[in-house]
Chain A
């Protein structure tokens, strides 16, 4: 089966198992080329083993995610930083 290229939107389900805020809308900075952009715009390759996200500018790996029974492995070493939008809490009622 050929491995077709998706994008970071496809990471949303597996990342939402781990994080309470949506990480696909976060802006990440690539460790390799220092370019930044939303996680949703990375190139994603998915296989039975897991998911790999590559920087759309330099094509280096920015994120790897493997899910197995009862655990997940998440490698973010290809990202220097994630900027995550967090809405302010509404004022107390």
Chain B
């Protein structure tokens, strides 16, 4: 381990589960203690490796949900149909368990509150569990002095599938700099401003920033969602070079 540290190469670390917090019927947040965690940027992810008793190993990537906080790292995992790892993480893992993680990794899909250059508003577009890295950005913003105004469009099946509902409500009430629009795809609760369905150009135009404001845009979710949202944003006049995307693959999230 000491030699690897000197070389600066990414290596696996043993993390201990401090707590498991339910987020909804199919999602949990796993709070990890990772000794020597070097800190992370909002939007980065970790690789998580599981080893079965027979030696079979499998690994998955999960976005970090939390703002940097010492050695503590929070991952939010949504259970996916046929997802062997997500099922284990959402139903079996408990405080005191140990998991192998490496990271943080990824330098593209990140938001830096102190980025040099002209001040830019930020538009976040989430599909389902694609909210997780965007929530890290919202949390970092909430803790930082730099208050770039954020607008979040969160496409989600129904109210039962929402993540971080109370925190989003609280943060957007506290500070006019965060505006949140829920876009339900299956069932919209009574009183919703928008009818249930896929996100549309009109919704992105009204709930997001106009392209003349030149926002930095982050889109995360299942591959099909990300591509249709990114195409709509380009059609609305957003510069493709200011749209950063991250695709999770299957519609349900990470398996």
Contacts and interface: CB of A to CB of B under 8 A. Distances in A.
Given A13-B10, A13-B61, A4 B105 contact: no
A24 B103 contact: no
A7 B246 contact: yes
Contact of A5 (B59, B102, B109, B223): B223
Residue of A4, A8, A13, A38 ringed by the most chain B CB atoms within 10 A: A13
Interface stretch (B29-37, B85-93, B247-255): B247-255
Nearest to B226: A7
Contacts of B103: 13
Nearest to A85: B107
Interface residues of B, number: 24
B45 interface: yes
Given A16-B10, A20-B8, A41-B245, A9 B223 contact: no
B174 interface: no
A40 B47 CA distance: 16
A1 B246 CA distance: 22
B9 A5 contact: no
A24 B44 CA distance: 12
A40 B10 CA distance: 18
Nearest to A16: B10
B39 interface: no
Contacts of B9: 17, 20
A24 B249 contact: no
A40 B61 contact: no
A59 to B, nearest CB: 14
Given A13-B102, A22-B105, A40-B109, A6 B249 contact: yes
Interface in A1-56: 1, 4-10, 12-13, 16-17, 20, 22, 24-25, 38-41
Contact of B108 (A5, A9, A16): A9
A1 B84 CA distance: 12
Nearest to A1: B82
Interface string B8-19: 111000000000
The 8 closest A-B pairs by CB, nearest first: A22-B107, A40-B108, A4-B249, A12-B105, A25-B107, A13-B47, A12-B106, A16-B10
Given A20-B9, A25-B107, 4 more contacts: A5-B247, A13-B103, A16-B105, A41-B245
8 contacts: A6-B223, A6-B249, A7-B246, A9-B247, A12-B106, A16-B102, A16-B105, A39-B108
Interface of A: 1, 4-10, 12-13, 16-17, 20, 22, 24-25, 38-41
